[in-house]
Structure 1
């Protein structure tokens, strides 16, 4: 490794923690960690620090949680750290130009897609929901635009047919932890030259909304399968089922599924057998293999059906 660097790390969720750990393990000096402010969580709505915040404090690293970096005081406090570089991984705040310019080597971002595809907030889920076959992580130098900076280094991985948002999240986090120290070393040693992103193939991974979660059974079966897997385990795709004798429908989360090349002429949302094979638009189907009722734990289909009688001909909405 080249001379250890003096860094700030800027990140918030679980995804970012292995990358912070890797930088510490590589011998770099993490002078300060920036993370999103603690937010109410749980039944008691107790203020809860982010996973990155908790990890950094456990390592004895100063943590700062400003609501914005736009004030002159925050810019000055960041500049006063006299950093070689900042590493940004799913932080959640916009960095003003003064912050981007403050470190000697600039600010490096780890992004969970193959840019320029899936710039933005939810690249992992959007890649699965769109049916992508390959994705990865990239180290890029940050600039004012949204994920538009030149790319330093890349690690790719295939997206499996049974991939979920959760499994891909964990794999990309691990790949990012391997890539970040190498990219920093290459940047500091002049061994890596940032390459501008292509102007072709730009897509945006918009923040997930409630509209993304509701399953529309009139859609193509392969797209519904991708939606279910991409949103699993969180926030989860869902549909309505009204149990026999009940008036109010239950919101059921579908957490795992399989595309079924099963021809039918049933109305979308109709169960085609007693094993949760659901008719979709286009004459094909999806088999639900993991589900969750409100207030209950997630269950594989067999366990779910043992406690809930759902027969062929039932209609989901």
Structure 2
């Protein structure tokens, strides 16, 4: 097939690799414009642009996608399908309908669960034990199109959104190639989504990372994993922000007496922090505002305290 590809971050590169290996003709890669990044705020190229340049594929980076200009440019390339993977923009009807096979999306969840911008993060943060990828025929709704193909993936106990994303991306690339093959053969039967089963994976905000110690330890740990690397998990200690970098629930430590957020040193292990329901979280690595990352035990030693309260 002749494919016009729309995608921006590293997640989308696996789909590009899969399309290239399968022999599809990539007529263009459409990515968001270069954006400032890092402490120096230097312009950074999207991962898909870097890939396209290395493979000799033309790149388009429009600021706007709903004024007809992008649709006209892609229509002139006569693609058989548009493939979209984490592009980060909402497409209008002119783009969704310009190719014979329409626009096909690689989405990082088992739709209709986790529609929206951050499906990988929320699936981990909400303690899912299984997720996957969906190849979807796009419509004008938010991830509401018909399902063409799905592939499931089991989450590991220690998965973060950062470790899960590459595995889902690779699985998405494989599923995409299979779906396109079946689509060409007329062997795919689109399946409508059940809106009653839908959940929203909204865009993450900084405040999502603030730890609620009143929740059970498992939930706190799941949110830490889901929000790694951003916005992370954080609390306060004596008025200063404390990032919790590594922690685990379970029987490693008994919950300290007192209200949720009470922390107590467990010699040789870390800090046991009281959570809701009488559970405890063993915190092993932290970063206090203005300091480098360190073990939780080193933090406690530096404060010369065996017990203190977090979240104040």
Pick aligned residue for 2:240 from 243, 250, 253? 250
> What residue in structure 2 maps to residue 112 of structure 1?
108
Question: 8 Å contact 1:68–1:93 — kept in the other structure?
Answer: no
**Which range moved further: 113-122 or 291-300?**
291-300
CA displacement 1:79-126 (0-9 Å, x = unmatched): 112110111000011111011000111111010111111000111111
- Aligned positions of 1:60-71 closer than 5 A: 60-71=56-67
* 2:281 counterpart of 1:281: no
Deviation at 1:289, TM superposition (A): 3.1
Question: 8 Å contact 1:38–1:49 — kept in the other structure?
Answer: yes
- SS of the residue corresponding to residue 123 of structure 2 reads helix
Change (3 A) 1:104 1:235: same
Change (3 A) 1:220 1:306: closer
> What residue in structure 1 maps to residue 181 of structure 2?
185
Deviation at 1:263, TM superposition (A): 4.5
Change (3 A) 1:87 1:301: farther
Deviation at 1:282, TM superposition (A): 2.2
> What residue in structure 2 maps to residue 272 of structure 1?
264
Change (3 A) 1:43 1:201: same
> What residue in structure 2 maps to residue 151 of structure 1?
147
Question: 8 Å contact 2:256–2:273 — kept in the other structure?
Answer: no
Paired residues, number: 306
> What residue in structure 2 maps to residue 77 of structure 1?
73
* 2:4 counterpart of 1:8: yes
Separation of aligned partners in 1, 2:200 and 2:287: 30
> What residue in structure 2 maps to residue 246 of structure 1?
none
> What residue in structure 1 maps to residue 215 of structure 2?
219
Change (3 A) 1:182 1:233: same
- Aligned positions of 1:1-317 closer than 5 A: 5-242=1-238, 249-261=239-251, 262-274=254-266, 275-294=270-289, 301=296, 305=299, 308-309=302-303, 311-317=305-311
**Which range moved further: 111-120 or 230-239?**
230-239
Separation of aligned partners in 2, 1:310 and 1:176: 50
Question: 8 Å contact 2:104–2:136 — kept in the other structure?
Answer: yes
Separation of aligned partners in 1, 2:17 and 2:9: 13
- SS of the residue corresponding to residue 150 of structure 2 reads strand
Question: TM-score, normalised on structure 2?
Answer: 0.91
- SS of the residue corresponding to residue 308 of structure 2 reads coil
Separation of aligned partners in 2, 1:23 and 1:297: 42
Deviation at 1:15, TM superposition (A): 0.9
Deviation at 1:305, TM superposition (A): 4.7
Structure 2 segments unaligned to the other structure (5+ residues): none
**Which range moved further: 307-316 or 66-75?**
307-316
Separation of aligned partners in 1, 2:62 and 2:193: 31
Change (3 A) 1:81 1:294: farther
Separation of aligned partners in 2, 1:155 and 1:251: 40
Deviation at 1:308, TM superposition (A): 4.3
> Alpha carbon RMSD of aligned pairs, Å?
2.0
Deviation at 1:25, TM superposition (A): 1.4
**Which range moved further: 63-72 or 91-100?**
63-72
Change (3 A) 1:43 1:163: closer
Deviation at 1:177, TM superposition (A): 1.8
